[in-house]
A and B are shown apart, each in its own frame.
Chain A
Amino acid sequence: AQKVTQAQTEISVVEKEDVTLDCVYETRDTTYYLFWYKQPPSGELVFLIRRNSFDEQNEISGRYSWNFQKSTSSFNFTITASQVVDSAVYFCALSEFNKGTSYGKLTFGQGTILTVHP
């Protein structure tokens, strides 16, 4: 069975601070994908990033960066110089891609509520 744990329920920071959102996952599969989604107050889930299990290279996109470590089954997300617009709920998700299984069948964590104060 798959499981995604986001231990931080809520995080509050002041604008321009850096913040890291933790994600730990469990899977028996050797081939899988990891995702981060952002859910602003409007409710729509916005795709941020996808990594596959073969690629442990860290990724940076503007103020966002992701640290994938298979040894610790973690896929952490860092926002540098946070802004008020970053306030949202952030979800980490896992997809196992086996024969006959859609990679869009995601197992989500419970989410981390990030509040960035001006």
Chain B
Amino acid sequence: GAGVSQTPSNKVTEKGKYVELRCDPISGHTALYWYRQSLGQGPEFLIYFQGTGAADDSGLPNDRFFAVRPEGSVSTLKIQRTERGDSAVYLCASSSTPHNSPLHFGNGTRLTVT
């Protein structure tokens, strides 16, 4: 079956603009995660959804970042007033249950803020 799909694969935007990054998890996976990976670093946790609700958003860096998952499947990460420091690869992952299954990661969206 299909894996985790993220679109777009690349996004270039100007400082101050608003962007949306989309994640399509594996069908039936209830848990969904967003991570951010800066160049040369390991991924850093941003937010975790169980179903439609954000169960843990402790990794979001500030209030410019927001994520939704209205129907419990597709999720959108939204960044307002982008800054150059937001440039990174944004990774999405899903798992079939939140407590036992390994995470399946997508290929990520590379965001570049100019």
Contact = CB atoms under 8 A, between A and B. Distances in A.
Given A108-B44, A111-B42, A47 B104 contact: yes
Interface of B: 3, 31, 33, 35, 40-45, 48, 50, 55-56, 59, 89, 91, 93, 95, 98-100, 102-108
Interface of A: 4, 35, 37, 42-47, 50, 91, 93, 97, 101-111
Contacts of B106: 44
Contacts of A93: 42
21 contacts: A42-B107, A45-B43, A45-B91, A46-B105, A47-B104, A91-B42, A101-B56, A102-B48, A102-B98, A103-B98, A104-B48, A104-B93, A106-B35, A106-B43, A106-B45, A106-B103, A108-B43, A110-B41, A110-B42, A111-B41, A111-B42
A94 to B, nearest CB: 11
Contacts of A50: 102
A47 B41 contact: no
Contacts of A37: 105
